[in-house]
């Protein structure tokens, strides 16, 4: 299950990361948002209603796409480039 469908860069260098512990592969040039949404359907869940969220504006304006990284840091997924070995947590189990 995924939200995004690649129409370019699908042969670019693979970049490994984990999504809620599940090994996944993104491509060179991906933002975290792209990497997560080509593997799953949400980047976080709302702290109020638990509803899944997957970003909205993709330009760093709505702040709906913050994810948690393994070191406890938080990153805005749509404006952060994917790097090898990142451990991304959505807290939604949406990668299944």
- Please answer whether residues 2 and 40 qualify as being in contact, where contact means their C-beta atoms are separated by less than 8 angstroms: yes
Order of strands, edge to edge, in the sheet holding 22-27? Answer: 22-27, 14-19, 87-89, 66-69, 74-76
32 binds, among ligand FES, another protein, none (CB under 5 to 8 A by kind): none
81 binds, among another protein, ligand FES, none (CB under 5 to 8 A by kind): another protein
Distance CA(5)–CA(21), nearest Å, equals: 22
Total residues binding another protein (CB under 8 A):
44
16 binds, among another protein, ligand FES, none (CB under 5 to 8 A by kind): none
Q: Which residues bind ligand FES (CB under 6 A)?
A: 55-58, 60-65, 76-78
C-alpha closest to that of 16 among 85, 89, 90, 95: 85
Chain positions contacting another protein, by CB under 8 A: 1, 3-9, 12, 28-31, 33-34, 37-38, 41-42, 46, 48-49, 51-64, 66, 73-74, 76, 78-79, 81, 94
């Amino acid at each position: 299950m995924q939200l995004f469908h690649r129409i370019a860069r699908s042969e670019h260098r693979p970049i490994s990361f984990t999504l809620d512990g599940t090994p996944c592969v993104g491509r060179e040039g991906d933002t975290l948002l792209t990497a997560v949404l080509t593997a799953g359907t949400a980047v976080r869940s709302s702290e109020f209603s638990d509803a899944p969220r997957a970003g909205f504006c993709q330009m760093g304006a709505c702040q709906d796409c913050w994810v948690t990284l393994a070191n406890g840091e938080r990153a805005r997924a749509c404006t952060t480039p994917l790097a090898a070995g990142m451990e991304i947590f959505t807290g939604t189990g949406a990668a299944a």
